[in-house]
Amino acid sequence: MQRRFFSAALVSVSLAALGAAPAAFAQAVPLRVLSHGSFDLPKGLLAQFEKDAGVQLQIVKAGDAGEMVNKLILTRARPIADVVYGIDNTLLPRAAAARVLDGYSGPASQRAAAAAMADGADKTGVAHGVVPVDYGYVNLNIDKAWFARKGLALPTSLADLAQPAYAKLLVVQNPATSSPGQAFLFATIAGLGEEAAFQWWAQMRRNGVKVVKGWTEAYYTEFTRNGGTRPIVVSYASSPAAEVFYSKDKITESPTANLFLKGGVFRQVEGVALVRGGNPAAREAAGRFIEFLRSGPVQQALQTTMWMFPAEAGAARADVMQQHASEPAAFDSPSADQLQTQGKRWLQRWTRVVLK
């Protein structure tokens, strides 16, 4: 159902290998696109881009976004890509410090964006050459039917979740092994303050919070919606929409709902950038790929393939997202500098407080 599906392997996908006519690529320039494993757009859109740009796409999927940035840095002497998609606001300081990106000044970098890559960015949202493509939220999801059956009021704060009435109801992902788990931890710190956040986590340990390795186990094994015992799960603001979209019974109301609590919502912004040292013959095509990702058809498609909100200001929302994927009025995300300097220590402290 969801977009955060990680592969540890480095996978290269050529559209020609997926069935496009080889003759069409006889004289095409290869365009190497490095992405995280969740990159997913309709084959027809990608094939049309190849035709329009006169290139052969080579999409290199490098596991999760952290792995992707690692590969970008480790291969900077001999870059393995010409353009990179999936650098987010938490990883941008690291990529910028490693000087692996080049600036881009095309139209997409000059238009207003609905979300910015970094604090202090102007209306375009561009930072360190990275152009925003999409954004989303990590937050709590609840099983509506479970709460209706039990007659239990929904929690209105994180503090409520530490009360006996909500004992053993929440499942979270380990932030050391899971992207949404890490985002949720960071939201608690930004929203509550570091000391209060870790006091809350200690209370949640005593109140029976369940910790699992990743999103798939939390959502598909532990969440009551899928036969588990936990009616509250860390997931995404787009999850209720995905429930409707993938429903075999063509339901019109999602069985799950978002729970936006102070200290429990993190906003992630993903972008695209030119890779420094990429193939000069592919530089023009790389710029066209950046424009492609901010085009109307792609901004529409990514909403129901990668389950993110479009970064293009004023972009139309897919019906299912408009009806079932609410956006929070506020979110709590540490600054990029805080994540860069404190993130590792926060993960270590969480492990001591919650697991040891």
Angle made by CA atoms 223, 226, 229, in degrees to the nearest 5: 40
Say if residue 161 is in the same domain as residue 285: no
Q: Is residue 5 part of a domain?
A: no
pTM over 0.85: yes
Q: Is residue 145 part of a domain?
A: yes
- Beta partners for residue 235, in sequence order: 139
Count of CB atoms situated within 10 Å of the CB of 281: 12
Question: Both tokens of residue 255?
Answer: 């069985």
Mark the ranges of the chain whose per-residue pLDDT is less than 50: 1-11, 17, 20-21, 24
Say if residue 160 is in the same domain as residue 231: yes
Q: Is residue 3 part of a domain?
A: no
Per DSSP, the three-state class of 170 is: strand
Q: Is residue 81 part of a domain?
A: yes
Count of CB atoms situated within 10 Å of the CB of 330: 9
Say if residue 246 is in the same domain as residue 194: yes
Say if residue 225 is in the same domain as residue 79: no
Query: How many distinct structural domains can be found in the chain?
Result: 2
Say if residue 289 is in the same domain as residue 343: no
Q: Is residue 232 part of a domain?
A: yes
Range of the domain at 38: 10-135+268-317
If you count DSSP H runs as helices and E runs as strands, how many of each does the chain have, helices first?
13, 12
DSSP secondary structure, 230-271, as one string: BSEEEEETTHHHHHHHT-TT--SS-SEEEE--TT--EEEEEE
Cα–Cα dist 208/196, whole Å:
18
Which pLDDT belongs to residue 15?
A: 55
Q: Is residue 289 part of a domain?
A: yes
Say if residue 227 is in the same domain as residue 298: no
Say if residue 78 is in the same domain as residue 125: yes
Say if residue 113 is in the same domain as residue 198: no
For tokens 């938490």, name the residue. Answer: 90
Cα–Cα dist 328/140, whole Å:
11
Distances (CA, A) of 316 to 131, 161, 198, 297: 19, 36, 40, 10
Q: Is residue 4 part of a domain?
A: no
Residue 108 CA to its chain's centroid (Å): 20
Indicate which CATH number applies to the domain containing 169.
3.40.190.10
Distances (CA, A) of 194 to 26, 179, 267, 347: 57, 19, 18, 12
Say if residue 232 is in the same domain as residue 92: no
